[in-house]
Structure 1
Amino acid sequence: MKKILIAIAVASSLLTGCTTTNQAVLGTTKSQVELRSFQSRAFDTTDKAFVLRSVVSTMQDLGFIIDKADTTLGTVSGTNYVVPISKLTVSVRDNKEKKQIIVRASGQVGVNPIDTPKAYQNFFNALSQSLFLEAHNVE
């Protein structure tokens, strides 16, 4: 009976430890669902290449130097070397059911993740303007 109680105690302490470690690794106290809610936007287009080009343009307009861009995976990563140094990774994927493109951005300043909605709102506002201007051939 003692062995069973010890095993239960060890198992429960390991499970509790995982929760704390997970939050420490992510560097934020916000839930992933909450983060995803302001890190993602849907755009009413099915042209993934067009959206990727707009993401690159927007990031460059915001002062980011593009480190990697992969059209097959639909990802763009860039670094802004203004102090403090910040990084931004954007993924673009199809939502064929709704005929939309889903764009998700994830950023960090220094070693800390960006977990405030305002920074992402600024990026998505600039991206929306870029998509509109490019769709209407405005330079």
Structure 2
Amino acid sequence: MGRNSKKSILLAGCLFITGCMSVPANLLVLPSGYLASREQQMRKFQTTDEKQVLQAGAGALQDLGFTIDKSETNLGVIVASKNRTAVSVSQTALALTADIASALCGAYGNLYAQTDKEQRIEASLVINPSLSQDATVVRVKFQTVVWNRAGQVSRFETIKDPKLYQDFFERISKAVFLEEQKI
């Protein structure tokens, strides 16, 4: 049997096996709470001046302590971040106590290296024209990445604090209002 015929048989076998696989029933089902989360992250502003809204968004992020990392004004995108400590006294104390207890029992445990050390809070801001011609839609998403003392990512999650989103959108709203009133 030739080399090409073996490859053809192998390829046909692979296609046969993958063709028999079924698609999971919940593949295209949105997770519960998705719409509420999206609603929390989006606001519509009654202006068509996207540059003004983008500048207001950048100012709001800076007011909240973020540093602008990337900005693409033509696309209406801003990415910002800030670094904070993630050290928890109770988590550290518990890990040290467990490490000492395991050492006294003759075992090795290094839970201290698994405790949180630092976090990076990231914000991504996207501005689009609304489907209605007289408004601009702003969506912001705040996420946090937490590293442990071993330098590994221990958590990556979306921040769901409604107060943070409300404060952010209030700052944009005030800036847009003041700009439109020429104050």
Deviations 1:7-38, CA, capped at 9 Å, x for gaps: 6xx63xx616858xx99xxxxx6432221111
Q: Is the 8 A contact 1:68 1:76 kept in 2?
A: yes
Which of residues 99, 108, 126 in structure 1 aligns to 2:143? 108
Deviation at 1:97, TM superposition (A): 2.2
Partner of 2:80: 78
User: Which structure 2 residues correspond to residues 1-139 of structure 1 after superposition, within 5 A?
Assistant: 11=22, 15=24, 30-83=32-85, 84-110=119-145, 111-138=156-183
Deviation at 1:100, TM superposition (A): 0.3
Counterpart Cα distance in 1 of 2:169 and 2:77: 16
Q: Is the 8 A contact 1:30 1:115 kept in 2?
A: no
Instruction: Give the letter aligned to residue 64 of structure 2.
Output: L
Counterpart Cα distance in 2 of 1:74 and 1:118: 24
Instruction: Give the letter aligned to residue 66 of structure 2.
Output: F
- Bigger proportion of residues as helix: 1
Q: Identical aligned pairs, as a percentage?
A: 28
Deviation at 1:134, TM superposition (A): 2.9
Note the aligned Cα RMSD (angstroms). Answer: 2.4
Counterpart Cα distance in 1 of 2:181 and 2:65: 24
Q: Is the 8 A contact 2:48 2:133 kept in 1?
A: no
TM-score, scaled relative to structure 2: 0.58
Counterpart Cα distance in 2 of 1:96 and 1:35: 21
Where has structure 1 moved over 3 Å in runs of 4 or more?
Answer: 16-19
TM-score, scaled relative to structure 1: 0.74
Answer with 1 or 2: which has the greater Rg.
Answer: 2
